[in-house]
Structure 1
């Protein structure tokens, strides 16, 4: 069997190692440059590879192709593979056949990284032999090739879900759905929603789907479509016999005969959206029989995620906050919503079809100045030029932070929450966040 892996990043290299171990003839092809550390790993495992090209005769003879999530279906090589009816799957689908581990799959437009990390933290503190993979850390395939864990918590993007056929998580979470990545879904919101719900398509009556019952897109889908999984809703406004909710400043988890209650004030993470993340993660912990004392302790000592509303420094009584992970409008909505004082907002990057109107009221109320950090800021300027007094365009993170420093006064907050992808000026959102923190430390 010939396995061709498209993309020589984390998921690609992990898949190649697992494929080789399972007896496949493996070839890795990357249209861009493969990083040196990954090249060394491939050489070490004696896996053939090429970069900065796709040699068709070495790809179109595959029995199965694993494509990295970043490669769109519109790519010429993918079209040719589909014409030849060669299966093109994701790393999650490929790996799934080689493990009996229980998986918890987490998707959503926002909150999925925090929910994934929090779920992992709860299960690990609870003594389970648990791995963390998907969009985070060492790839799922790589970990399974080393036969590591009995349970995996997987952060799954819509792109990874597009490439599944048989994969099913024992517990699935959909944190929320709002328009994102529409450039990859023909600017059709319904296609994007359907993609997220692939997470439950193979689930059976023995599996669970945990979802935000306050989310209109999720509720509409569930009204018009069927899943066989047991439904576990969570909400900040309603109460359930089976489900998770907040009431009278307590979080309540009722997924078993033994309900769990804890004051919201004991959560280490601030903000309404983090109450939701805690409801979802605790539901998993309760389903997997983690002790209540452990759940309590873990929810109160969890440290949060880098680049997600991360407090960097206070300088001259101005708080600098790194929310580089906010790559869509909905994520930035949560960030602005949690600001308490006047805010200098650094925004911009590669726009994925954003509609900024839903931020208008918050910007009006909280934002005193906007710093546009992107190659094309036209849409942001058109949206907010009449709403704020100060609007500046900059070409680098250092310049953005310097301008913010000049504008901000005592009691203000400087918030990097770009609402856009980062690929115009940065390698990825982590690079963008690190440059922000560095620039703040250099002030």
Structure 2
């Protein structure tokens, strides 16, 4: 046993790391950020921003993109509303992976004009993110592009990139990461879509590997949305996301599972990979988004709240005519239930709406689902109506 008291304390801390005096400091909480990816802002952004402000520190906003043939285009961002929000903003510039090359002169000009306009509008601009799905074979050139672009940015403006797990096997990755202040590892929609949108175990493995390569802070970009796969005559599926495609055929819906993401978030908070600074959620939902989690569900997952599903049947009546509605009173978006049964008295006529058909007997109305849609947490959907002498307000059953 070492005689020196300080060495003796060190020895015990190494040997008995579970003792309270030897426990490492707890990891800081993971920062939570949010992508805004609508190409044209709407009045609904105002309420969505207000409702998200308490839970997400930073907004990463699609601002500018370059595409083959189409060239450069700006997202129609409501800059006064973005300024009024008051949060730190990172402008995202999307450079399509199918571009034949990266034109530094043109990119520098476009970025400079964008930054000048946003700063003149009073937006609290803290950084620029380049979103470019570069092939691994072109990472060396991409790194040189980023170094030269960074030299043109205003002093103090941070530069980050969206990064792909496929780059982990490239010998050029460490140098690429040295060219930027931080990186955002995208772990959704990076594999063959037929294999699914997101794999939490694979995402965790990629994050662990990224933390061993990067010596700078990095973030994980996580999904809060879904897509649909449409069949194609060539065999490869076509992906339909925010914008509906004018194509026939049965759609296979893929939706990120909130419970899986909640579990992953808990793991990352408890045992974060090296250099992981936070999580960035894709994307801010607006009312009516067909393939995005509701903001209620997104906030619950980001906070690590327990996810709960619950239905309530509500009735409104006038002169014996009842409107019958379902209300999602949990914090989890849900598909409408398969069957809803109510106790009734002497119904003359009844009918289902919004994908429900009704079965009627002297004492019961049973509404059966014919087609499935999701109802957002806190949302409401009319499932039918009936003209009855009475419906028991508390006597109903919902079957998944």
- Pairwise same-fold verdict (TM > 0.5): no
Bigger proportion of residues as helix: 1
Bigger proportion of residues as strand: 2
Whichever of the two has the greater Rg, that structure is 2
Q: TM-score range by the shorter chain?
A: under 0.3
